Structure formats: structure tokens, C-alpha cells
Amino acid sequence: MSTIPDLSPESCAEGVTGHWQLQRIVGELRAARDDWRTSNGRISGEKGGRELPSREAMRDILDALCGALFPMRLGPVDLREESEDFYVGYTLDVALNSLLDQARLELRYAARQKGQDASCADVHAERLIQDFASALPTIRRILDTDVLAAYHGDPAARSVDEVLLCYPGILAVIHHRLAHHLYHNGLPLLARISAELAHSATGIDIHPGAQIGPSFFIDHGTGVVIGETAIIGERVRIYQAVTLGAKRFPSDEDGQLLKGHARHPIVEDDVVIYAGATILGRITIGKGSTIGGNVWLTRGVPAGSNVNQASLQHEDGCPK
């Protein structure tokens, strides 16, 4: 005969506390962390405090910055124009102070990992965030060109407001313009977090190191990848699933990948790249060129080129 289990509160409590063997598991997890830190030569962070910047904090900061840049469209629902400046000032004050806290964490962490004195990190962080704040009006003006490019480049767009509110490519570009400044001004970790938040939300992966000119439009966007050293000119339009990637990854004599060298394409002004195109290596796509859908390209093309799958075939039908 089967036995009915005891489901009384007292019995359930005993089962929960003893079932998972949490004391042993916690101890083993601590040992695994310690082993990893020792084997990787990691230096412990400040006792009682967070060692690294927070993704959650950066998400809140970026949401606030989007609202401050476009208050009547990305700001709070009950905002009125007569209180617009107050909202922008208050929002920037909160967001920039929070960003300063995250910058301090990154710079202290970087100093500790290099065995340097972290005492100057806070002063340096404040200078960097002051520079970032001063750049916001310029970033806003560049973003205006991106919004207009999306509106003029998509016949389905009924207004610039629709573009700003609805298009994932615009959200990705807003994040990129902000992250790009952080990346090239001494806060690469905060920049990568910012870029990856946009990547998660939109499916568009733009490395914050990529240099992108004004009036940039990503249509649809899902699956777009733009590498760290890519250079994109003005009035460039790309579609979903486009990759501007590296052809190969050189390594040093120890087999470690070399970092930072130029390995991604240069796309000149007024280029259109259609869906699914893959462009690899440090090659140049000349001004005014059109790259067709699903093209795989590893060599540069001159200005005014029209490249499609048929044009990449030899007369015998074999790909070049």
C-alpha cells in the first residue's frame, strides 16, 4: 500500500532546509571562485562594495539619457513643453551622477587589475563624465540626421516621430552614439555594456568602437553586425542581416589574438548594402556603391559599383 506523504508545514520546512545541502554547495562555489581568481591572477575588489559596473544601472542611465535627448517623444507620458527644460535638467543630473558612479567603478577596477594606484580614478572619472555631458548637444544633432535618414529612406515611415518611437535601428544608433563617445574617451567597459543592452533589445550588434558618419539608417535591422574598427561614411543605408566583419584574426607568436588592429571594412559615403550581405576584412566599398542582397564580399570595390551575386561569378559560373 502506498504511503501518503506528510505535507504539513513543519515537514515541508524540514524538507526545504535539508534537501538542497546548501551549506556544502555554497562552500564549493566559494572554492570555485577562489580557484578561478587565483589561476587568473585577479585582484580582489574593495571589501563591502561592488567591483564592476552594473548592467541594470546602465540600462536605467541610458533610458534616462534617451528621455533627456528626446523629451517629448521618449520622455514621460505626462511631460508638457513648458516643463521640458526642468525635466531635462533634473533627468540629466540624476543620470550623469549615476554614470559617474559607474565610471568610478570601471576606472578603479582597471587600475587594480594593472597594479596601479586607484586613488586618482575618481577625479579622472569626473572629468570624463563632464566631457560626456558636454558632448550631448552634438550627439543630439547627429541623431537628428539619423532620424531624418530613416524617415526619408523608408516609404513606410509616416513621420519622424514614428521612426523615433518604433524603429529598432534608431534605438541601436542612439545607444551607439552614446557608447562611441564613452569608448573613445576612456570608458570602454561602460561602452560595451551600453552596446550590448541595445543588441539584446534590437538584435543589432554595433561595436562601440565603430566610426559611423551622420545620416545613418539601419532598416529592419535584425542580425546586423558592425565590427570594432569599421568606418562608415555619411548617408549610408544598410538592411537586416548585414555583416561588416573581419576576414581573419591574426595572432602573436604565442597564439594570442592581436587586439585593436584595423580588420573591418571601410564603407564610404552614400553606400547602400542590402539584406544578408557579408563584407569581410579591411576593404573599401567606394562612394555611391550598391551591394546586393546575400553577397559575400572580401575585396574592395571602386566608387559607383553595383555588386550583386551575378556580378561575382566567372563566365564559367564559379565564384570569384
φ, ψ for residue 142, nearest 5 deg? -65, -40
Quote the pLDDT of residue 220: 95
Domain of 176: which CATH number? 1.10.3130.10
Q: Are residues 80 and 184 in the same domain?
A: yes
251 in a structural domain: yes
- Residue pair 44/37 in contact (Cβ under 8 Å)? The answer is yes
pLDDT tens for 91-105 read 999 999 999 999 999
Residue 79's nearest CA partner among 95, 97, 63, 67 is 67
Domain of 295: which CATH number? 2.160.10.10
Quote the pLDDT of residue 316: 43
Q: Are residues 140 and 60 in the same domain?
A: yes
Q: Which residues of 133-156 are buried (b: 16+ CB within 10 A; e: fewer)?
A: eeebeebeeebbbbbebbbebbee
**DSSP for residue 238:** E
Quote the pLDDT of residue 310: 83
Quote the pLDDT of residue 117: 83
**Total structural domains in the chain?**
2
Task: In whole angstroms, give the CA distance from residue 72 to residue 90.
Answer: 15
Quote the pLDDT of residue 315: 40
Quote the pLDDT of residue 145: 98
67 in a structural domain: yes
Q: Are residues 198 and 311 in the same domain?
A: no
Give the contacts of 55 (CB within 8 A, at least 6 positions apart).
Answer: 193, 196, 197
Task: In whole angstroms, give the CA distance from residue 219 to residue 172.
Answer: 11
Tell me which residues of the chain have a pLDDT lower than 70.
Answer: 1-18, 42-49, 255, 257, 313-320
Q: Are residues 294 and 152 in the same domain?
A: no
Q: Which domain holds residue 293?
A: 223-320
Record the pTM: 0.86
- Residue pair 229/264 in contact (Cβ under 8 Å)? The answer is yes
Quote the pLDDT of residue 252: 72
Beta bridge partners of 217: 237
Give me the count of residues in the chain. 320
